[in-house]
Amino acid sequence: MYKTDVRGPLILGDKNYRQISDDVIAPINQPIPGWWKVAFFIALLMAIFGVLALYQTVAVGLGTWGVNNSVGWGWEIINFVWWIGIGHAGTAFSIFLLILRQKWRTSINRAAEAMTVVAVMCAAIFPAIHMGRVWLAFFIFPYPNTRGSLWVNFNSPLFWDFIAISAYLLISASFWYFGMVPDFATIRDKATSKIKKAVYGFFAFGWTGSSREWLRYEALSYVLGGIAAVLVVSVHSIVSTDFAVSVIPGWHTTVFPPYFVVGAIFSGFAMVMTLMIIIRKMYKFQEYVTDSHLNAIAKILVFVSLIMGTAYATEVFIGWYSGSEYEMFTFFKNRVTGDYAFQFWAMVICNAFIPQLFWFKKVRQNLTIAFIISIFINIGMWYERFNILITSLSKDYLPSSWTTYSPTWVEIGIYIGTLGLFTMGVLLFFKYIPMIAISEVKSVLKVTSVNTNDQKHMSHE
Amino acid sequence: MNKTSIIGVFDEENALMAAVDQVKKEGIEINEIYTPYPMHEVLEAMGKKTRFTFAAFLYGFAGASGVLAFLYYTSVIDWPINYGGKPTNAFPSFIVVTIVLTILTVTLASLFTFSARAAIYPGKSFILPDKRSTDDKFVIVFDKSLLKGGAEKLNALLLEKGAVEVYEKELHPQN
């Protein structure tokens, strides 16, 4: 039988099953804390600002943005790719670790998946409004229409993108939801207020935990896990083809799909770390999200950071090795040096150098530093997308079409709005949904905790 | 519907499994077992198998061929467009859409299958013998009318194996 001696106990404190339910449900039953209200209010203001900016975009048009003929993709696409990247971690986390039978996922996967769903919703706003006439966005559905039936272009990466994002949103949301059904039943059966019982009872879909249900539940989670693993890799590969299939210098490269997937997992895991440190601190979940959990995430981050550094070096090397003067110019005159050198080096330092601090055990254990590094990674990943988009577009083949780009308040407003939306979504998740997968944590309690009043250990996987 | 059931409540999964093994040895039929988390030992003991993975494969097969057929129909038969002289049946670039939509088909169809086969859907009226089983108890349920040797023997057996409570109850569906 498999025992995680290397990783240490997954759940600290001598917990029993009831304590796990009570601990995880506690934030739902307790009154809303003050910091939550303040954070929600600020996030709401940000979201309202975002709605104003969206209104401006729709009412006046894309002319309110700073994009122009040369730099046709600005902050919207940067932020779209950034959010999709963050949205990768939840599924990557749950599914890869499910397939690899990593039991330490159980305390973290719920929050990671929640983050995924909210981040992908934020991401989906950008391509929709970038179409210009958002009220005609349904034209992208391949449906028999009165335009002849003129079908969409199935060979276009932009259409692939639409398919990939909608599928990803649907699948990650349903994977997340069905994981929560048994926990909703737990809340239903422990609820004392009638309203809570009715509401959580509705969302529990009549779950009882009978062997008939668990059998199919387990089968479903492995089927979804197996096929969604393909999706995790494919979604961001498809996003990268938006760039890689074009002929713009700096984009036209085969390294893009793996580079994007790894980057997405990198920023997503960094966001998971940010979020778990907050959850642990604010809700006192130190016994479930232990130091060794965060240590494991930090180790993944340092490994992925090395891949990121390799990818950056490869891009620059190939820029020289290709012998193409346009590639040479883009990488050496417009990224490593030149107008956008700051953004390039910010990317390299934040993503490839700063996370190397996680090699030191002291840094991994100091959660304040770990928190700051995780924020730096997300800033670095934002600069990476800026770097890819703006440097390549602003100075391409024809010097006569070179231009600069700076965002208007509308573009910044939409970004701030999505940050607010994300924060609101995460805060609502903190309050109304069990942040830790109760039934999954119970299934690893006896195998890996310090709870020793049981002679015979059983494994459930 | 409202038959009397005998309900055994356990604190520990090992005690539950010991009782299950003994009950099966005596040839007593178990109606259902309710656990707070999935236990493979229980699923094995109940002798339940699922063809879920095979169903998922069929969905995937149907999804993949359906999507490819749709792409072929729209791009080659219904409205072929000349993109710089490239073949209208652009098979390699159809693969991307096919993979993603196949995954979507499998996911949605599996969810509906799960919902139907496990009988999990909104507004369902369900039978939950002991509501502590979604929290920290392991609950085993027997149909009293199916017992041959009488309830006392079963009660004694369950208690001997470490049941914390054994009681009789008429089960009603609840909302």
- Beta carbons of B114 and A217 less than 8 Å apart: yes
Domains and CATH numbers, chain B: 4-49+125-170 (3.30.70), 52-117 (no CATH)
Domain with A375, as residue range(s), is 17-134+155-448
On whether residue A202 sits in a domain, the answer given is yes
Q: Which of B50, B83, B128 sits opposite A208 (nearest CB)?
A: B128
pLDDT band for A254, please (50, 70, 90 cuts).
Answer: confident
The pLDDT tens digits of the residues spanning B150-160 come to: 777 777 777 77
Q: Which of A277-291, A415-429, B126-140 has the highest mean pLDDT?
A: A415-429
CB contact (8 A) between residue A150 and residue B37:
no
pLDDT of A409: 94
Residue A376 has pLDDT above 90, yes or no: yes
pLDDT given at position A224 = 85
Contacts of A211 in chain B (CB under 8 A): 32-35, 42-43, 46, 48
Instruction: Give residue B155's pLDDT.
Output: 76
pLDDT band at B149 (very low <50, low <70, confident <90, very high): low
Per-residue model confidence as pLDDT tens digits over A430-440 = 888 888 888 88
- According to the model, what pLDDT value does residue A222 have? 83
Report residue A448's pLDDT band, with 50, 70 and 90 as the boundaries: low
Residues of A in contact with B53 (CB under 8 A): 219, 222-223
Report how far apart, in Å, the C-alpha atoms of A436 and of each of A10, A178, A232, A440, A459 are: 13, 14, 22, 9, 20
Average pLDDT of chain A is 86
Asked, for residue A4, whether it belongs to a domain, the answer is no
Q: For residue A173, tell me if it sits in a domain.
A: yes
Phi, psi of A187 (to 5 degrees): -65, -45
pLDDT, greater one: A163 or A102: A163
- pLDDT of residue A43 exceeding 90, the answer is yes
Phi, psi of A174, rounded to the nearest 5 degrees: -75, -35
Q: What is the largest CA-CA distance in chain B?
A: 84
Instruction: Please state, rounded to an integer, the average pLDDT across all residues of chain B.
Output: 82
Lowest mean pLDDT across A149-158, A277-286, A354-363, B153-162 = B153-162
Is residue A5 in some structural domain? no
> How do residues A379-412 score in pLDDT, each as one tens digit?
999 999 999 999 999 988 999 999 888 899 999 9
**Res A154: pLDDT:** 87
- Cα torsion A109, A114, A118, A124: sign: positive
Mutating which of B78, B81, B114, B131 best tests the A interface, going by the most A Cβ atoms within 10 A?
B114
Closest residue in B to A150 (Cα) is: B79
Q: Is residue A458 assigned to a domain?
A: no
Q: Residues of chain A with pLDDT > 90: what percent?
A: 27
| A29 CB within 8 Å of a chain B CB | no
Structural domain contains residue A148: no
pLDDT value for A41: 95
B153 and chain A in contact, CB less than 8 A: no
- The dihedrals phi and psi of A68, each to the nearest 5 degrees, come to -140, -170
**A177 found inside a domain:** yes
What percent of chain A stands above pLDDT 70?
Answer: 94
Residue A326 lies inside a defined structural domain of this protein: yes
Q: For B142, which DSSP code? A: E
pLDDT of B88-99, one tens digit each?
888 888 898 999
pTM here is 0.88
What is the mean pLDDT of the segment spanning A92-111?
A: 80
Interface confidence, given as ipTM, is: 0.87
Instruction: With cut-offs at 50, 70 and 90, classify the pLDDT of residue A455.
Output: very low
A439 touches chain B (CB under 8 A): yes
- Min distance A10 CA to chain B CA atoms (Å): 17
Name the residue facing B135 among A17, A155, A230 (closest C-beta). A17
pLDDT exceeds cutoff 50 at A457: no
Contact map slice: A 126-185 vs B, CB within 8 A: 142, 148-151, 153-155, 159-160, 163-164, 167, 170-171, 174-175, 178, 181-182, 185
Closest CA in chain A for residue B13: A458
Please count the structural domains in chain A: 1
Please tell me the least confidently modeled range out of A49-63, A123-137, A212-226, A259-273: A212-226
Provide, as residue numbers in chain B, all residues whose Cβ is less than 8 Å from the Cβ of A210: 32-34
pLDDT(A122) > 50: yes
Q: How many CB atoms lie within 10 A of CB B21?
A: 13
- In tens, the pLDDT along A301-356 reads 999 999 999 999 999 999 899 888 999 998 998 899 988 999 999 999 999 999 99
Q: How many CB pairs under 8 A join A and B?
A: 195
